[in-house]
Amino acid sequence: MHDIKYIRDNAGEFDKAMARRGLGAQSPAILALDEERRGVLTRLQEMQARRNDESRKIGEIKKSGGDASAQMEAVAAMKVDMAAMEGSVRDLEMKQSHILAGLPNIMGPDVPDGADESENVELRKWGEIKSLSGPDHVAIGEGLGLIDFETAAKMSGARFTLLSGPMARMERALVQFFLDTHTGEHGYTEVSPPLLVRDNALYGTGQLPKFSEDLFKIKKREEGKDKPDEVDLETGRTTMYARAATYENAWLIPTAEVPLTNIVAEMIVEEDTLPRRYAAFTPCFRSEAGAAGKDTRGMLRQHQFYKVEMVSVTAPEESAAEHERMTACAETVLRKLELPFRTIVLCSGDTGFGATKTYDIEVWLPGQETYREISSCSNCKDFQARRMNARMRSKGEKETRFVHTLNGSGVAVGRALIAVIENYYDQADGGVWVPEALKPYMGGLEKITV
C-alpha cells in the first residue's frame, strides 16, 4: 500500500519507480482522483459542521423550553445532500485505495534494471561443484524406489509427491536441521503458526487482492450442495471443497511469510523489542496456476511443499542490514550441507510485488545442469506494514512509525532434498550419501541405498 501523501509530494519520483515496474505514469490519475475526493470531503465536512452547530442550538432551545421546529426542519433538509456526498466520498475512497493496493512496491535504487530473470545479477558463488551433470532426482529417487509420483497422482493429481522410507526421513531431517540452525545459531524464535488464514492476512502481506489465482481457498459448503453424499459413485468425484461447515472462506498459506509477518499486524511494538525474528516450518500450498507446463517433471514445483521460513520485523533504519543478515542465514544452511550455490540480486523486472529488493539463492542441480532457486530473501520495508498497520514506537517518542518487514526462505525443503539427492548421488551404486550435517537427524545413517 502506498502513502498518498508521498505520491502528492513526490509524483515524479513515484512515476519513475512505477516505470521500473513496467507501468505507465500512475500519479496523474491518482492525484486527480485524490483531488476530487478531498474536494467532496471538504464540502461534506463543512456541512457536517453546520449540522452539528444547529443540533447543538436545538438542544439548547429545547432545554430552555423553546420551540425549535424551524431549526429541526432545516437540519432535516440537509440530510439528503449529506447522504449523497457521503456515498460519493466513500466511493472515491474505495476507488483510490483499490488503485493504491494494486500497485507494486517501490524498488531500491540499487536494484539493477532488467526485463526478466535473464538480467538478474550474480553477486557471489560458493562451493565446489563436484558433479556438473548427472541423473535427476526423479531417476535417482525412482531407482531407489523411495520417490513415487504415480501413487501421489492417483490420490491427488499432478504436482504431488509421495516419499517413503529414508527419503521421507531425510526430508524431515532437513526440516529439523534448518530449524535448529536458525533458532539455535541465528536467533530466530520458532513459531508454529496457523496454516489457514483469512483474507486480511493475505492482504497484509500483498498476496491479495491481486494474486488470488495463485492460492488455494477453502470454500464454505453451500447449503444443499456439495454434500458428502453427492459423491458420484461411478467416478467417485465430488464438487465439494471442504467439509468444514463451521469454517469458511479461509485460504491455505502459500508460505509461512503470511502468518509470521501478520504476527505484528495491528500492533504498536516498542522499538527495544526489535528486531523480532521468527522462523517456522510449515507446508506451503500453491495452485501454480500461472506455471502450467513449467517444471512438470519431478518435485521441483508442487502444489504442496515444506519450507522453513524466516521473517524479521525491524526498525526502518535496520532493515537493509537485516536483509544481508537474513540472506547470510539462508546461505549458512547450504554451506553446512556443502551444497554449491550462488546468490543473485533480482533485477527490476523479476522483483516481486511487495519487495523493494530481493536476493535469490540458487543451488546447483546436476540433474538440470544449472542453478535453481532454493531461497528468496526480500526486504519489503514498510509496504506490508502499511497494509497491516504494523507500527513501532521509539523510546520517549510520541509518534509511531511503520516497521519494516523482511522474509526469506531458510530454505525450501523439497528443493533442498532434490539438491542433496542430486549432489550426493553415488553413480557406483545408485545410492545417495547422507550429508554430514544431516547424519545426527538420520540415526547415523551414512547412505541411502537400494
Contact residues for RNA, defined by CB under 7 A: 4-5, 38, 41-42, 44-46, 48-49, 51-56, 58-59, 62, 72, 75-76, 79, 90, 245-246, 268, 395-396, 398-400
For residue 374, CA distances in Å to 28, 173, 227, 303, 421 come to 40, 17, 40, 16, 14
For RNA, the closer of residues 86 and 142 by Cβ is: 86
Task: Tell me if 392 sits within 8 A of 400, measured CB to CB.
Answer: yes
Those residues whose C-beta lies under 8 Å from the C-beta of residue 367, and which sit 6 or more positions away, are 133, 134, 135, 136, 137, 138, 139, 140, 418, 422
Q: How far is the CB of 165 from RNA (least distance, A)?
A: 24
For RNA, the closer of residues 7 and 138 by Cβ is: 7
Q: How far is the CB of 220 from RNA (least distance, A)?
A: 10
For residue 1, CA distances in Å to 43, 191, 356 come to 27, 27, 13
For RNA, the closer of residues 269 and 337 by Cβ is: 269
Those residues whose C-beta lies under 8 Å from the C-beta of residue 272, and which sit 6 or more positions away, are 395
For RNA, the closer of residues 118 and 246 by Cβ is: 246
Q: How far is the CB of 188 from RNA (least distance, A)?
A: 25
Task: Tell me if 306 sits within 8 A of 284, measured CB to CB.
Answer: yes
Joined together, the cell numbers standing for residue 389 give 498497520
For RNA, the closer of residues 71 and 287 by Cβ is: 71
Joined together, the cell numbers standing for residue 383 give 509496504
Q: How far is the CB of 372 from RNA (least distance, A)?
A: 37
For RNA, the closer of residues 287 and 400 by Cβ is: 400
Task: Tell me if 267 sits within 8 A of 392, measured CB to CB.
Answer: no
Joined together, the cell numbers standing for residue 357 give 529488493
For RNA, the closer of residues 85 and 328 by Cβ is: 85
Find, among 180, 108, 125, the residue nearest to 329 by Cα: 180
Q: How far is the CB of 191 from RNA (least distance, A)?
A: 18
- The three-point CA angle 325-319-14 to 5° equals 135
Asked, as a colleague might, if the bond just before 283 is cis with ω within 30 of 0, I would say: no
For RNA, the closer of residues 1 and 421 by Cβ is: 1
